[in-house]
Amino acid sequence: MMKKLIAVLALALLVCAGALAAPVDLKTAPEAIPTQEEGTLETFGLTFPQEMPLAARNFVLTARAEFEKYPFVKLPKANDYTHWYYEDEREIGWCSVFQIYCAYHSGVQLIKHKQEAAVDDGDVISAMEGRVGNVYYVFDAYGRWQQADKMEAIPKPGAIVIYGKRGSTPYTHVGIVETVVELGDGMYELTTLEGNVNSTIKRMNYRYDATPKRKYYNMSVIPEEEITQENCQYTLHSKDWYITGFGYTW
Residue 221: what pLDDT? 98
> What mean pLDDT do residues 222-233 have?
94
Q: Residue 42 — φ and ψ, nearest 5°?
A: -60, 135
pLDDT of 178 strictly over 90: yes
The total of structural domains in the chain comes to: 1
Residue 21: what pLDDT? 34
**Is 35 inside a domain boundary?**
no
> What mean pLDDT do residues 203-218 have?
97
**Is 27 inside a domain boundary?**
no
**Is 7 inside a domain boundary?**
no
Residue 179: what pLDDT? 98
- How far apart, in whole angstroms, are the C-alpha atoms of residue 55 and residue 116? 21
Q: For residue 137, what are the CA distances in angstroms to 80, 178, 209? A: 26, 22, 23
**Is 237 inside a domain boundary?**
yes
**Is 8 inside a domain boundary?**
no
- How far apart, in whole angstroms, are the C-alpha atoms of residue 241 and residue 195? 16
Residue 220: what pLDDT? 98
Cα four-point dihedral sign 128, 125, 208, 46: negative
Residue 31: what pLDDT? 79
**Is 189 inside a domain boundary?**
yes
Residue 10: what pLDDT? 38
Residue 32: what pLDDT? 80
> What mean pLDDT do residues 164-173 have?
97
Q: Which helix (H) or strand (E) holds 104?
A: helix 95-104
Q: Which domain holds residue 186?
A: 50-247
Q: Which residues of 186-206 are buried (b: 16+ CB within 10 A; e: fewer)?
A: ebbbbbbbbbbbeebbbbbbb
Q: DSSP assignment of 28-66, as one string?
A: SPPPPPPPPPTTSS--TT----TTS-HHHHHHHHHHHHH
pLDDT of 28 strictly over 80: no
> What mean pLDDT do residues 147-157 have?
98
pLDDT digits (tens, 9 = 90+) for 80-138: 999 999 999 989 899 999 999 999 999 999 999 999 999 999 999 999 999 999 999 99
**Is 132 inside a domain boundary?**
yes
> What mean pLDDT do residues 33-58 have?
96
Contact 188, 194 (CB under 8 A): no
Computed over every residue of the chain, the mean pLDDT equals 90
Higher pLDDT, 183 or 21: 183
- How far apart, in whole angstroms, are the C-alpha atoms of residue 39 and residue 63? 16
Write the burial class of residue 132 (CB in 10 Å: 0-12 exposed, 13-18 middle, 19+ buried). buried
**Is 166 inside a domain boundary?**
yes
